[in-house]
């Protein structure tokens, strides 16, 4: 994530393919960050608090995203000044410069996560063969209820 986000300031208005590739790299890194964190949290949490910790982790992630969005948006708007996205007068060079500043701020957050990851401790002591919930052996999985015929909607007329 940090490598993809950190390299995005190298993108210019003449290198859009580089921007797409680096964005994909950053997105893959972000996915590689979120899922292991959720897994570690559920492994180290006592059984009766798994739902609570999963909800809390999701809430923290959403609040962090809102704070990050707010920070990045303010950096972008301050760099653009009086120019707006709705104006056709915005020069591509100004947008590239503004987004470059946003991505440079993002490098600081990525660097902080890399440093924080160095302090993650070994969780293998928490891992065992315990299963928190199971289906009864003689109960077959239930089928999802079907919708009434009138609820089926055709989307062919929408496009």
Query: Which has more pLDDT, 91 or 68?
Result: 68
Residue 94, in any domain of the structure = yes
Tell me the whole-structure pTM to 2 decimals.
0.63
Residue 141, in any domain of the structure = no
Range of the domain at 49: 2-128
pLDDT in tens, 5-49: 778 888 877 888 888 888 898 888 877 778 888 888 888 888 888
How many structural domains compose the chain?
A: 1
Angle at 35 between CA 62 and CA 133, to 5 degrees: 100
Task: Answer whether residue 155 shows pLDDT above 80.
Answer: no
Predicted confidence at residue 48, as pLDDT, reads 85
pLDDT confidence tier of residue 86, bands split at 50, 70 and 90: low
Residue 102, in any domain of the structure = yes
Residue 140, in any domain of the structure = no
Predicted confidence at residue 66, as pLDDT, reads 94
Contact call for residues 97 and 115 (beta carbons, < 8 A): no
Other Cβ atoms less than 10 A from the Cβ of 17: the count is: 9
Predicted confidence at residue 63, as pLDDT, reads 94
Residue 117, in any domain of the structure = yes
Residue 108, in any domain of the structure = yes
Which residue is it, tokens 């993809």? 4
Residue 110, in any domain of the structure = yes
């Amino acid at each position: 994530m940090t490598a993809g986000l950190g390299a995005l300031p190298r993108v210019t208005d003449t290198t859009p393919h580089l921007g797409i590739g680096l964005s994909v790299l950053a997105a893959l890194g972000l996915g590689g960050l979120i899922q292991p964190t959720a897994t570690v949290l559920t492994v180290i949490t006592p059984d009766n608090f798994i739902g609570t910790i999963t909800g809390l982790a999701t809430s923290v992630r959403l609040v962090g995203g809102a704070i990050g969005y707010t920070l990045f948006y303010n950096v972008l708007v301050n760099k653009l000044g009086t120019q707006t996205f709705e104006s056709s007068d915005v020069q591509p060079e100004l947008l590239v410069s503004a987004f470059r500043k946003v991505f440079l701020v993002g490098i600081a957050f990525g660097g902080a996560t890399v440093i924080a990851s160095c302090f993650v401790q070994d969780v293998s002591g928490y891992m065992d063969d315990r299963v928190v919930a199971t289906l009864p052996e003689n109960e077959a999985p239930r089928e999802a209820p079907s919708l009434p015929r009138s609820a089926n909607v055709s989307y062919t007329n929408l496009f």
